[in-house]
């Protein structure tokens, strides 16, 4: 496991623990915000554990594509979390979060099939 993967994994675990502690002491909004950041850290750790992504990141020519993949994945996670938070609270306007969610997923699909390089 690489240093980058380990650091993002540890960051995600620590942020997740801190968010649960904050939620326990009724700091819901701050706790929910940290959960989103923790989820992003976990997914970035997963990306760096994937050999194809490591190749993309290591090659100087395609590093920008790896950054785009991280950005699109992060946007998808944030959009999904906000979509769920709004739908659970009964705000149907949260459906609009499907637009950046689907966009992020499509960008990653295009990267995976080597259309965007």
What's the pLDDT tens digit per position in 37-92? 999 999 999 999 999 899 999 999 999 999 999 999 999 999 999 999 999 999 99
57 shares a domain with 31: no
2 shares a domain with 42: yes
pLDDT higher than threshold 90 for residue 114? no
pLDDT at 116: 65
Give me the mean pLDDT over the 10-14 stretch: 97
pLDDT at 117: 63
Give me the mean pLDDT over the 87-106 stretch: 95
- CA–CA distance, 93 with 91 (Å, rounded to integer): 5
* pLDDT > 90 fraction of the chain, expressed in percent and rounded: 90
Q: Per the structure, how many domains does the chain have?
A: 2
Query: Residue 102 belongs to what domain range?
Result: 51-117
Alpha-carbon separation of residue 102 from 2, 73, 82 (angstroms): 30, 10, 14
pLDDT at 115: 77
Asked whether 87 and 94 are in contact (CB, 8 A), the reply is yes
60 shares a domain with 22: no
40 shares a domain with 58: no
pLDDT at 11: 97
Q: Tokens 């950054």, residue?
A: 67
The three-state secondary structure class of 50 is coil
pLDDT at 2: 86
59 shares a domain with 88: yes
pLDDT higher than threshold 80 for residue 94? yes
Asked whether 42 and 14 are in contact (CB, 8 A), the reply is no
61 shares a domain with 39: no
- CA–CA distance, 117 with 112 (Å, rounded to integer): 9
């Amino acid at each position: 496991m690489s240093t980058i993967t380990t650091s993002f994994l540890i960051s995600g675990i620590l942020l997740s623990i801190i968010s649960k502690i904050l939620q326990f002491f009724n700091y819901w909004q701050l706790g929910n915000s940290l959960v989103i950041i923790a989820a992003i850290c976990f997914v970035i750790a997963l990306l760096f554990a994937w050999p194809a992504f490591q190749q993309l990141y290591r090659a100087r020519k395609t590093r920008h594509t790896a950054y785009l993949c991280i950005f699109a994945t992060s946007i998808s996670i944030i959009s999904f979390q906000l979509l769920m938070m709004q739908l659970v609270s009964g705000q149907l306007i949260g459906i609009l979060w499907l637009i950046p969610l689907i966009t992020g997923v499509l960008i990653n699909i295009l990267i995976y099939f080597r259309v965007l390089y």
